[in-house]
Each structure stands twice: as C-alpha cells, then as structure tokens.
Amino acid sequence: MRITKYTHACVRLEHEGRVLVVDPGIWSEPDALTGADAVLVTHEHADHVDILRLRGLGVPVYAPAEADIPGPDVQRVSAGAEFAAAGFAVRAVGGRHATVHGGQPDCANLGYVVDGSVYHPGDALHVPEGPVETLLVPAHGSWLSTAQAIDFVNAVGPRRAFAVHDAQINERGLSSVNGWLAQDTDTDYRYLRPGESL
C-alpha cells in the first residue's frame, strides 16, 4: 500500500489503482482528492474535513454517525463498524474527540484501521484491539502533549509510525517532537513532509 502524507491530518492510501483519502481538511492540498474513490472523515472539525471540497466530489464519504457533516454522499458509521471503502477493509474504532479543557470540545471522533494494518486515530488516542503495522500518530494539538504521543505509540505497538496533525507547529517544535518520537518509542518512527510517500 502506498501512503502519501498531505498537510496536517490528511493521508492518501493507494493500492492496485484504488484511492482512499483520510481527513482532507481545509489545510490539506486539493490534489489529495484527485482520483479518490472514497473518503474517511474522523470528525467534524475543519482541519479534518473541508465540506465544500467534498460536496462536489461525488464519492462516498464515511463519517461518525453523530458528526455534523452534511451531504448526500455521507455514510454514517459507528465505533465497531466494519465496512469496505474504495475496496479497502475498514474498521471504525474509538468514539469521542480528546478533551482540551473542561470536557471541551466534545464531538464524535472515529479512528480507522484500514486493511488491518494502517491506523489513523483522528483527534484521539484510542488504542485499538489487535496489531497495527503502521500508526499515523498525532504530533501536536491543543489536546495533546509529546509525552501522550510517545505513550500512545508504545501502547499501540506498531512496526512503524509516521506523524500527522502537525500543521500548527513550527519547525523548531516539529524537530523536537520528531526527536522525542524517534528516541522514545519502540518502533521505526519517521517524519513525512507533505507530498512525501512510502
């Protein structure tokens, strides 16, 4: 499976001509959606979903059942659901967005395990059942500390991890977070810049 990172939380997965895009938010590049067969949205915040861009896309969009994401192509899913999206096997996990302060923000957030190997958690640190080969680990957020990100990677125990959710951190901060994740996690950690693929 080819994995391409785009700005912030957006990731494009490609396999045998099929394209699945996760969290194409307002900061991600429009070409992330070129040729997309389906889209997964972890939650309703604009840094994870650009509703206007999806409106004319004409492909299935899978989102949490409780999310405020309008559109005729939105398929509502709940934690525990297993479904096919663009020919990829997807399992929805988790349930709620991580809190920042005082219980806020509180909205539905689903992580997605794709083909039993790639896990995108959205804005939460839910540890899914079963092994994960590739973890897309949030690197920064108002709801996240570096210590939590390190503990999350080690709790999931993936073979490799790549950072997402990084658009609000400057180069110095990103260098620090990347250093800690590489040093203190029991995995092959690597940072992909927007547009880089594996």
* pTM for this model (two decimals): 0.97
- How far, in Å, CA of 137 to CA of 144, rounded? 11
Q: For residue 65, count CB atoms less than 10 angstroms from its CB and return exposed for 0-12, middle for 13-18, buried for 19 or more.
A: middle
β partners of residue 112 = 92, 120
**Single-letter amino acid code for the residue at 180:** W
Tens-of-pLDDT digits for all 198 residues of the chain? 999 999 999 999 999 999 999 999 999 999 999 999 999 999 999 999 999 999 889 999 999 999 999 887 899 999 999 999 999 999 999 999 999 999 888 999 999 999 999 999 999 999 999 999 999 999 999 999 999 999 999 999 999 999 999 999 999 999 999 999 999 999 999 999 999 999
